[in-house]
Amino acid sequence: PGVLLHTGPVWDSSSVGADVEKAGGVAGVRELLTRALRGPLLPAQQQQVLSALEADPKLVHRLGVGPRHLPALVEHTPVIAYELLLRLMRGPQIQAFLSVLAHTCMSLHSMEVVNRLTTAVDLPTDFVHLYISNCISSCENAQDKYVQNRLVRLVCVFLHSLIRNRIVNIADLLHEVQSFCINFSRIKEAAKLFRLLKAAQAGLEPGS
């Protein structure tokens, strides 16, 4: 994709804090985010964006970042994608952003973003379930055996974390996740997750 972020005046420059100006100015931040749509940023560039977001909580609403930009930002700069989403949580577009995230291609970076969000805010249950289903489908549809094994391991570690931290109600996902574990029982992490499910299931049963 080319330059996708707004290039016109999307904010009143008089409202921009001095700290943001020190961090390189809003135009500079917007330019770095546009670069992030095409590839990873250098550590110093990433820090410049993070410092600007920290300095001005309202900055995120003036950058012209939309849901369609999210997949590229997640893959190239997951730390920045997380910080943007965190600041957009109470905004009117958050459902659109979460919908895109739930359907984006499963990867280590997207799981990193979702996992960090689950520990920072209360995400909608339907979003978490949809993202998990997407991860499971991605594993099942992977054609390359090496890639499939790697994806399964990532998903198992991710699900293990969600269950251990009580982010998800295991009763809501028991059948789907259990089937996933059985399908990939040859993989150590899937067998470990299956044992965790069985232990959690035992704890759910009356009289246990």
Residue 24's pLDDT band (boundaries 50, 70, 90)? low
Q: What is the pLDDT of residues 64-99, one digit of tens each?
A: 999 999 999 999 999 999 999 999 998 889 999 999
pLDDT of residue 139: 94
Question: Does 204 score more than 80 pLDDT?
Answer: no
More confident residue, 30 or 207: 30
More confident residue, 51 or 20: 51
Q: What is the pLDDT of residues 133-165, one digit of tens each?
A: 999 999 999 999 999 999 999 999 999 999 888
Long-range contacts of range 53-57, CB-CB < 8 Å, 24 or more positions apart? 53/29, 53/83, 53/84, 53/87, 55/17, 55/19, 55/20, 55/22, 55/23, 56/16, 56/17, 56/19, 56/20, 57/87
